[in-house]
Amino acid sequence: MAPPVTKEFIIDCPWCKAKVAATETGRAEQSGFEDYTCEPFAYKVLVGICPSCRSILAGETQQISFENYDSDEDRWSDVVRIYPKPPKVFSSYRIPRVVKDSLNEADRSMQAGANIAACVMLGRALEALCRDILEPRAETTTPAAAGAPPAKNKKKVMLGEGIKKLHDMKMIDDRLYDWSQQLQAFRNLAAHPEDISISRDDTEDLQTFVNAIVEYIYDLSDRYEEFKARAGARSKRKKS
């Protein structure tokens, strides 16, 4: 009788800080067709053991090509770790999509060992945050008079200027400001064709910082406003 075949999948181990061939110990799968588009979908959640540190790892993968539908063979995306240390989840609805997309790309880059790309995405996320907070919203105005010169496009807020303004407005404290300057330095190095190396430890620290400032600016502000609203409602009930 032949021995059972051992299945493995490639996943990022946060403790070994490397891609490993985890020994698969379990999985869950789901597939079908989208309700409105009738397009096929399939994804898997895989559970396994790191061969080096023996920690439990779980990741998910989505099917990106389907045999006899849009490709000659089935193809799956890389396995993205969801346990331990899953991607950060935020609660505020005010966070711009470009910020969330950049943070997700940074996380995927780190799991692939692409630290320079991750730093670029983290800088992009923080710059988008600065623009969202500091640039005035577009307002509806009356059409320009005939023959009037076209309005000039206002200069976009850049990362260095943006973090300084957030600090001047006391939206971030001295410690967050200093950390954001370090991120700017890494982002500038990563965005230019220089011969550099950025460690995973530095990249993880920068990711922790950007997650913290996004949470501070958006999530905690929302929670504070909700708390004040509840406190105000309680005060009114006591007076009535």
pLDDT in tens, 77-131: 999 999 998 888 898 999 999 999 999 999 989 988 899 999 999 999 999 999 9
pLDDT in tens, 61-82: 999 999 888 888 999 999 999 9
- pLDDT for the residue numbered 188: 82
Rounded to an integer, what distance in angstroms lies between the CA atom of residue 71 and that of residue 184? 42
Place of tokens 């991607």: 87
- Show which of 57, 83, 109 is a domain's final residue: 83
Asked whether residue 49 falls in the same domain as residue 128, the answer is no
- Show which of 83, 114, 149 is a domain's final residue: 83
DSSP alpha helix (H) spans, the chain: 97-111, 115-134, 159-168, 174-190, 200-214, 220-239
Asked whether residue 63 falls in the same domain as residue 114, the answer is no
Residue 153 pLDDT grade (very low, low, confident, very high; cuts 50, 70, 90): low
Domain total in the chain: 2
**Residue 192 belongs to domain spanning:** 97-135+157-239
Is residue 112 in a domain? yes
> What one-character DSSP code corresponds to residue 100?
H
Asked whether residue 72 falls in the same domain as residue 119, the answer is no
pLDDT in tens, 162-205: 999 999 998 888 988 888 888 888 888 887 777 788 888 889 98
Is residue 55 in a domain? yes
